[in-house]
């Protein structure tokens, strides 16, 4: 006699199919997520307190990770700082190179100082304006580095000097008779104004009684292009 209560060999009910375990994320994905979390926390702290005002413990607390993990991925605080800097500077450099290439292809030898200043300054200003909080923090860090005696010039050189040299070469082409030192001083003043403006310190807000806002980066950019274009015309005289 057939046992009417007997079950088929597969005892799992069709209503309860076997659950599949979620696939483990690749190690590279976990590493990328962890390092970006650390860099995001470090970026904010470096922007608010400067490189020397931040400890690895503070970064670990901000990222909600153990300090040992930061040592594992980066080694020490200086390497974290350099990684924070390099993460966004590569994107800035790519945008500047693209702008320079497009400008040279369009105008050939008929460059103007307004055009050259625009392709050097606008990419980073637009990134800070359009891309959110992390870029505001990055801009503040660049401002700190560009005005610092304590290793700032090294990280600026590592990340920006090839683009800076191309910008200087364009300036030389515009004023071939200008003494070289005047070209370099011109660049230094542009660079100082660029990073001070990006830092959004609020100083102009106080001096102008609120008429100007350091957060109005669009106005800062257009004013810089106008003022430095007129100033450059005296460089070659």
Domain boundaries, the chain: 86-232
- Contact at 8 Å (CB) between 161 and 91? no
Q: Which two tokens stand for residue 168?
A: 């200087």
CATH classification code of 86-232: 1.10.357.10
Mean pLDDT for the stretch of residues 217-225: 96
pLDDT score, position 2: 44
Non-local (6+) Cβ contacts of 22 within 8 A are none
Is the CA virtual torsion 100, 104, 105, 107 positive or negative? positive
Q: Give the pLDDT band of residue 151 (cuts 50, 70, 90).
A: confident
In tens, the pLDDT along 7-18 reads 444 544 445 555
Complete DSSP assignment for 66-84: -HHHHHHHTSSHHHHHHHH
- Contact at 8 Å (CB) between 91 and 55? no
* Single pTM value for the model: 0.81
Distance CA 170, CA 168 (A): 5
Phi/psi for 201 (5° steps) reads -75, -20
Q: C-alpha angle 126/218/173, rounded to 5°?
A: 70
Q: Which residue do the tokens 């605080």 mark?
A: 77
Q: Give the pLDDT band of residue 3 (cuts 50, 70, 90).
A: very low
The alpha carbon of residue 84 and the mean position of all alpha carbons in its chain are separated, in whole angstroms, by 8
Interior/surface letters 8-18, b for 16+ CB within 10 angstroms, e for the rest: eeeeeeeeeee
Mean pLDDT for the stretch of residues 211-216: 95
């Amino acid at each position: 006699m057939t046992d009417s209560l007997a079950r088929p060999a597969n005892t799992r009910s069709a209503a309860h199919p076997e659950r599949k375990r979620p696939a483990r994320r690749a190690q590279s994905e976990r590493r990328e997520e962890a390092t970006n979390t650390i860099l995001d926390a470090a970026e904010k702290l470096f922007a608010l307190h400067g490189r020397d005002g931040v400890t690895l413990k503070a970064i670990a607390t901000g990222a909600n990770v153990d300090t040992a993990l930061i040592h594992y991925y980066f080694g020490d605080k200086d390497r974290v700082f350099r990684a924070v800097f390099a993460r966004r500077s590569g994107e800035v450099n790519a945008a500047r190179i693209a702008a320079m290439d497009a400008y040279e292809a369009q105008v050939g030898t008929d460059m103007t100082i307004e055009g050259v200043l625009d392709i050097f300054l606008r990419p980073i200003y637009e990134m800070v304006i359009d891309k959110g909080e992390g870029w505001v923090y990055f801009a503040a860090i660049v401002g700190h580095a560009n005005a610092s005696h304590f290793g700032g010039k090294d990280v600026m050189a590592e990340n920006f000097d090839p683009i800076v040299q191309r910008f200087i070469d364009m300036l030389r082409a515009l004023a071939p008779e200008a003494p070289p030192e005047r070209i370099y001083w011109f660049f230094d003043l542009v660079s100082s104004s660029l990073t001070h403006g990006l830092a959004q310190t609020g100083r102009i807000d106080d001096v102008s009684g609120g008429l100007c806002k350091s957060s109005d980066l669009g106005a800062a950019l257009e004013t810089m292009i106008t003022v430095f274009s007129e100033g450059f015309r005296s460089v070659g005289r």
